Amino acid sequence: MKNFSIASILFHCPQCKVNFEFDAVGENEFVPCPICGTHFITVKAGSKLKLEAVEQALFC
């Protein structure tokens, strides 16, 4: 059984300069900005979840 992290993340969209909050359930979850529609993905950094642009996540 896999453990899931649930986190409420406040994020600043670099495209439209708007802050938005969302509830992340785990890693590799696609999250669109509610204003401009830019897609981000949740990634795990240590014990925390954070958002990265899809292009940046695919580049790594």
Report yes or no on 2 lying in a domain.
no
C-alpha to C-alpha distance for 28 and 31, rounded to whole angstroms: 9
Mean pLDDT by 10 residues, the chain (60 residues): 66 86 77 86 76 60
pLDDT digits (tens, 9 = 90+) for 41-52: 888 777 777 777
Alpha-carbon dihedral angle through residues 8, 36, 29, 21, given to the nearest 10 degrees: 0
Report the CATH number that the domain containing residue 26 is assigned in CATH: 2.20.28
Residue 1 lies in a domain: no
- Domain residue limits at 41: 7-59
Say how many domains are in the chain: 1
